[in-house]
Amino acid sequence: MIFKVLTLFPEVFQAPLESSMVGLARQRGLVTIEVSDIRSYTHDPHGTADDYQFGGGPGMVLKADPIFEAVDDVLSAHSVEQRAGIPIILTSPQGETLTQAMAQELSLAPEIVIICGHYAGVDERVRQHLVNREISIGDYVLTGGEIPALVLIDSVTRLIPGVVGSHENIEEDSITSGLLQHPLYTRPAEFRGMAAPEVLRSGHHAEILKWRRRESLSRTLERRRDLLDKAELTTDDLTYLRSLGYARPEHTP
């Protein structure tokens, strides 16, 4: 998997992409991440990558020409047909909101281009004629697309086989499993008068699984009832949830 990031602030990417799981994934050759400076695709002495808005208004707009040129350059090895199959993503609060399912789908792409907007945003022609996807990381506005690009890279990279130690870890994660995960504990068993649940230390595998499932169900009911309404649930799950006052909506399979 190759990520090609286009940004006016390449330095933002250094530490997050060198550390932890993403850094290790790069060292092990599981992902390649190339960060290009949009400014290096400008042709005036000042390296002008942004300009005033036509029509007036506050904030500068990222110019279309260096961004088109940057994308042409990073995808120069591909034919027009191949290019059509590569996600060329614009980070934008106006885009579709990133979900785990979207990260899963993107993790299957061999190559992804991510364009980071900044200031007031990006010339509309980039959105209309260059990118084939716009992704938001949530309903709030950030100063630039660098953090959204990092969120995207991180969420996709951890789904690439071999990046996270055991695949089971990923499938048990909150959201991925359809529910929120059960609480986690580690040593010491007792700390400042707070004890880890006895059952987790009992060595009784079936009881541990049952406790975890119930904790996961009750936590999801408390915090994310919307997930529960869509989750795959067993008869035992439903019986337990009914005892907590949950009734499945009529239309749910």
Ligand X SMILES: C[S@@+](CC[C@H](N)C(=O)[O-])C[C@H]1O[C@@H](n2cnc3c(N)ncnc32)[C@H](O)[C@@H]1O
Binding site for ligand X (CB under 6 A): 91-94, 116-118, 120-122, 136-138, 140-145, 148
Which residues make beta-bridge pairs with 89? Answer: 114, 133
Q: Which residue has the tokens 């067993």?
A: 234
Compute the least distance from the CB of residue 67 to ligand X, in Å.
Answer: 11
Compute the least distance from the CB of residue 114 to ligand X, in Å.
Answer: 10
Compute the least distance from the CB of residue 101 to ligand X, in Å.
Answer: 17
Amino acid identity for residue 154 in this structure: D
- Please identify, using beta-carbon distances, which residue of 142 and 196 lies nearer to ligand X: 142
Contacts of 227 (CB under 8 A, 6+ apart): 175, 178, 179, 180, 220
- Please identify, using beta-carbon distances, which residue of 102 and 208 lies nearer to ligand X: 102
Cα 25 from Cα 41, distance rounded (Å)? 29
Contact 39, 45 (CB under 8 A): no
- Please identify, using beta-carbon distances, which residue of 93 and 240 lies nearer to ligand X: 93
- Please identify, using beta-carbon distances, which residue of 59 and 188 lies nearer to ligand X: 59
Residue of this chain nearest to ligand X (CB atom): 117
Provide the token pair at 251. 């239309």
- Please identify, using beta-carbon distances, which residue of 66 and 145 lies nearer to ligand X: 145
Instruction: Look at residues 233, 183, 187 and name the one whose alpha carbon lies nearest to residue 208.
Output: 183
Cα 251 from Cα 253, distance rounded (Å)? 7
Compute the least distance from the CB of residue 2 to ligand X, in Å.
Answer: 21
Contacts of 180 (CB under 8 A, 6+ apart): 174, 216, 219, 220, 223, 224, 227
- Please identify, using beta-carbon distances, which residue of 22 and 122 lies nearer to ligand X: 122
DSSP string, 87-129: -EEEEEEEEEEP-HHHHHHHTT-SEEEEE--BTTEE-HHHHHH
Compute the least distance from the CB of residue 105 to ligand X, in Å.
Answer: 18
Q: What is the DSSP letter of 174?
A: T
Compute the least distance from the CB of residue 117 to ligand X, in Å.
Answer: 2
